[in-house]
Amino acid sequence: MIKKHMRLEINNVSKLYKNNIWGAKNFSLNLENGILGLLGPNGAGKSTLMNILATITKPTEGAVFWNDKDISLYPNDLRKELGYLPQYFGIYPNLNAIEFLKYISILKGMNRNHTKKRIGELLELVNLVDVSKRLLGSYSQGMKQRIGIAQALLNDPKLLIVDEPTAGLDPEERIRFRNLLSDLSGSRIVILSTHIVSDVEATANNIAIIKKGELLCHESPEVLIQKAEGKVWMLTIKSDELLTFQKKHIVSGIIRRSEGILIRVISDVPPAINTQQTSPNLEDAYLYHISLSNNFSK
């Protein structure tokens, strides 16, 4: 079976809010099947962009095309192929999982004959079969996130958007969620919006870094790391020097040892004497690209 390739084109999208605040500015990105990690600090404009892509709000300028159709003009063409898990996902605490998913399927206009089978498949997928008749109000945060991804997948979407999906999850739940996203990515576009670098590192085949509503770069993880080569240093300092060092330099990692604190520093030049260069990881690369934007804005 030949996989159909989806296309999502974001062309110079900007969103202007009250008080002349830009949630997104001249944002352009072209995507096909796979997982995009949309990475940026809190307040970077990620949720604004997700709301535009999910047809919840319209851009002030620019346009988004889903398989060559403008979603502002033809929103239903995207909505019938869209799955969305927003950052703040609300549940109905007095419904159980089966009742909740049936209700969502009605809102999505799904075929009732197909719905029962689909709900069963999804509860199996997200490992909630054993608690499917418990009220959602009794679910843990991780279980609520899993029912959230189940509702997003009800219509077998070709565009799946998940906004900060692992916030508040314990490490085991986070790993389970990452694995689930990876399994889903083959025949659809998945956009994982987060500020947690490890989530992106474990799942995404390409990464877009966003800050203040603007796209800083769009590359594979390997290319992002390669661009930070020669910019990461390690050195040991005393505990009472840490605060001063953090004010002057970008510190990406801290390990406390008996002889002092071993720190990783992002810098174009050695930040001190007795400093050793080291290979960058994705978190280093992310901080390096964010720091470049700081330098450009000065």
State the Cα angle at 209 between 203 and 215, rounded to 5°: 140
How do beta strands 8-17 and 232-237 pair?
A: unpaired
Q: Is 26 left (phi over 0), alpha (psi -120 to 50) or beta?
A: left
pLDDT at 189: 94
pLDDT at 183: 82
Q: Is 257 exposed, middle or buried (0-12, 13-18, 19+ CB in 10 A)?
A: exposed
pLDDT at 192: 94
pLDDT at 293: 66
Nearest to 184 by CA among 159, 219, 163: 159
Element (H, E) at 13: strand 8-17
pLDDT at 141: 83
CB 126 within 8 Å of CB 147: yes
Q: Which residues contact 185 (CB under 8 A, 6 or more apart)?
A: 33, 34, 35, 203, 205
How confident is the prediction along the chain (298 residues), in pLDDT tens digits per residue? 445 678 999 999 999 998 888 999 999 999 999 999 999 988 899 989 999 999 999 999 999 999 999 999 999 999 999 999 988 888 899 999 999 999 999 988 888 888 999 999 999 988 899 999 999 999 988 889 889 989 999 999 999 999 888 876 778 878 888 888 888 777 789 999 988 898 898 889 999 999 999 999 999 999 999 999 999 999 999 999 999 889 999 999 999 998 899 999 999 999 988 899 999 999 999 999 998 866 544 3
Residues in the chain: 298
Q: Which two tokens stand for residue 7?
A: 């296309």
Strand intervals (E) in 18-144: 21-31, 34-39, 61-66, 69-70, 82-85
DSSP per-residue letters across 179-207 = HHHHHH-TTSEEEEEES-HHHHHHH-SEE
Domain spans of the chain? 8-225, 227-297
CATH no. for 8-225: 3.40.50.300
- Partner residues linked to 15 by β-bridges: 24
Element (H, E) at 17: strand 8-17
d(CA 11, CA 119): 36
Distances (CA, A) of 180 to 39, 84, 99, 135, 251: 19, 15, 23, 23, 32
d(CA 84, CA 106): 16
Question: What residue has token string 């990881």?
Answer: 281
pLDDT at 2: 43
Q: Which two tokens stand for residue 69?
A: 């159709």
CB 61 within 8 Å of CB 14: yes
**SS3 state of residue 25:** strand
